[in-house]
Amino acid sequence: MCSRYTLTSPPEAVRTLFGYANDAGFPPRYNIAPSQPVAIVRHGLRGQRELALVRWGLIPPWVKDPMNFAMLINARAETADVKPSFRSALRHRRCLVPADGFYEWTGRAGAKQPHLIKPKNGGLIALAGLWEHWLGADGSELETMAILTTTANAEMAAIHERMPVILTPDQFDEWLDCRSGRSQEAKKLLSPLPDRSLEITPVSKDLNNPRNDFPEVQRNMPDTLL
DNA sequence: CCAGACGTTGTT
DNA sequence: GTCTGG
DNA sequence: CCAGACGTTGTT
DNA sequence: GTCTGG
């Protein structure tokens, strides 16, 4: 699963890697949690890449009352093409989620140990996402997104069965281009990141509280066992 | 056909 | 114990 | 995911 | 809106 992540790279670095046309500032985030507004990159009306802020937690368009619907923060890559909640978004509304790393937990309730997972040499990564547009009967609108998950690669398997799909820059165009209206080619991009490319470090339990959004939550806890 | 669900994860 | 909010 | 709340009524 | 279960 992927249910918390971080994006601390400066906006100009994000824009350079993701190549969107519009410009937007955003503060460094050390502890991004579901239900919060997050930055995504998608194709705009003229096919140009754009940065948008949407809510993390996908609400399918047929939902009557979003307040009584458990938002979908992840979508299984293996089945997203057949699930009513994701099928249309996988065809028409794919996006990238800029991140510097993501978090997973080990341990039992009451002793939850968070771990930061990021590229061995640092830097930005792109999580594969789906976004959705919800229209209320009263005219209210809501844009939301979910992060795709796949099976864990070798490093991740040590702590967790699943991991978010991470795309490389050479895959960005094919993933973002939804003009064909088909999902099968895009689905083929959804594999685990190759082994030996990520590093996992235990971090401060301060991370557990989503209200703690400051650099110290990423403090390395070297003595902590996996 | 209509009614009712539509999701993931981890844990039990 | 279970749901909601972040 | 984890943390934190978990309720109703009437009044401002 | 679309799929599944009855």
Q: Residue A208 CB closer than 7 angstroms to strand D?
A: yes
One-character DSSP codes across A79-122? TTTT-TTTHHHHHH-EEEEEESEEEEEES-TT--EEEEEEETT-
Q: pLDDT tens, A104-131?
A: 999 887 789 999 999 999 999 999 999 9
Q: Residue A4 CB closer than 7 angstroms to strand D?
A: yes
- What ipTM is given for this predicted complex? 0.80
- The pTM of this model reads 0.94
Cα A174 from Cα A176, distance rounded (Å): 6
Give bridge partners of residue A42 from the DSSP assignment. Answer: A50
Q: pLDDT tens, A21-67?
A: 998 899 999 999 999 999 999 999 888 999 999 999 999 999 988 88
- Closest by CA to A116, choosing from A208, A44, A178, A20, is A208
Q: Which nucleotides of B are covered by protein (CB under 7 A)?
A: 5-12
N-terminal to C-terminal alpha carbon distance within chain A: 17
Q: Residue A82 CB closer than 7 angstroms to strand E?
A: yes
Residue type, A190: L
